[in-house]
Amino acid sequence: MNDARPRHRVLVVDDSPVARRLLVHILGSDPGLEVIAEAENGDEAVRLATRERPDVIVMDIVMPSMDGLEATRRIMQERPTPIVLVSAMYGPGYLSQSFEALHAGALTLVAKPSGPEATGFADEAADLTTTVRLCADIKLVTRRASNRSHPHPAANRARPPAGARRRPVEIIAIAASTGGPAALATILNALPMSTPVPIVVVQHMTEGFVEGLVDWLDASSRMAVRVARDGEPLRAGEVLVAPSGVHLGVGGGGRVELSHEPPTGGQRPSATHLFRSVASVYGAAGVGAILTGMGEDGVAGLSALKEAGGLVLAQDEETSVVYGMPMKAALLGIVDQILPVDRIAAALIAAWNGATR
């Protein structure tokens, strides 16, 4: 039986003819994708985005004339389109540009496949085509700051179980996926250097890019942001991010516990693993925040944290790139506050000051 669904129309942007041909070949081999145009720099990408109206754009970040960062800014201003960034560059400067482009509106960053002769090429190609198909289906929202929270019918219904006791906040756990780097930057940039509790983060990120994310967040935040190391102590005013392919949890004595246990719900690191760990060790002294992202990773873990008496926050639909993870938590009725991303930092500050406990 023939699949009658239309293929997603893709614009490919890369200054290297060889790399561009490879991307076109990989994407064109997927029955759900059709490459409708190619560009060799950001100037052409901006023009073709308006003229051809692709469903999704696959774009390199380092290009002459106009790079991927400026092209992303222009496209998001002139004709917002889902953008998947591809990069073979792992240097701090290149990755900083990539994360700035994510902040400007690109959806995600994936590794550029290195070539058919390379080990792991099939997996890289599959990851790219899957990501492009998923991003092509995303309906972009106009993200803007807000001066108030937006109520949700499932919000604030949940209450701590009988006998649960609110305690002073001792730890904050945050989870994010698609759109997460920009959301994390917004939150961390608004928190003070004197933040009195540790912050632990799971951000779904392509292998090889976590270190770049951490460097970018560290450069813009008042707090120190680092990749978590097994056994290290949790320190107030420090942000620890899960390494690639490893579960992040917390243990007794206030220390990091990294684990190579099987994926939870298909994810490693898993937000559910992190939230369950915080619930087990800190209980009502824990705060969990779930941000923009596809799927439902973290929701089961937040349920455990809620049962333990912890505080649960979720990003709202209006400011989420993908309202998947926070929506699932909200619909389950375990969220205390649904907030625009620019108001989450204030809610965290209020929590550790005791104003919302």
Three-state secondary-structure class, residue 28 = helix
Exposed / middle / buried, residue 208 (Cβ in 10 Å: 0-12, 13-18, 19+): middle
Q: Active-site residue 65, yes or no? A: no
Out of 87, 98, 177, 277, which one is annotated catalytic? 177
Alpha-carbon gap, residue 216 to 49, rounded angstroms: 28
Alpha-carbon gap, residue 338 to 316, rounded angstroms: 5
Contacting residues for 251 by C-beta, under 8 A, at least 6 apart: 257, 277, 281
Out of 152, 204, 247, 273, which one is annotated catalytic? 204
- Are 331 and 151 within 8 A, CB to CB? no
Q: Active-site residue 150, yes or no? A: no
Alpha helices in 80-179 (DSSP H): 92-104, 121-136
- Are 60 and 34 within 8 A, CB to CB? no
Alpha-carbon gap, residue 77 to 140, rounded angstroms: 12
Helix (H) or strand (E) holding 276: helix 271-282
Three-state secondary-structure class, residue 353 = coil
Q: Active-site residue 177, yes or no? A: yes
Out of 60, 297, 316, 336, which one is annotated catalytic? 297
The CA distances from residue 325 to 72, 204, 256, 321, in Å, are 25, 12, 24, 11
Catalytic amino acids?
A: 177, 204, 297
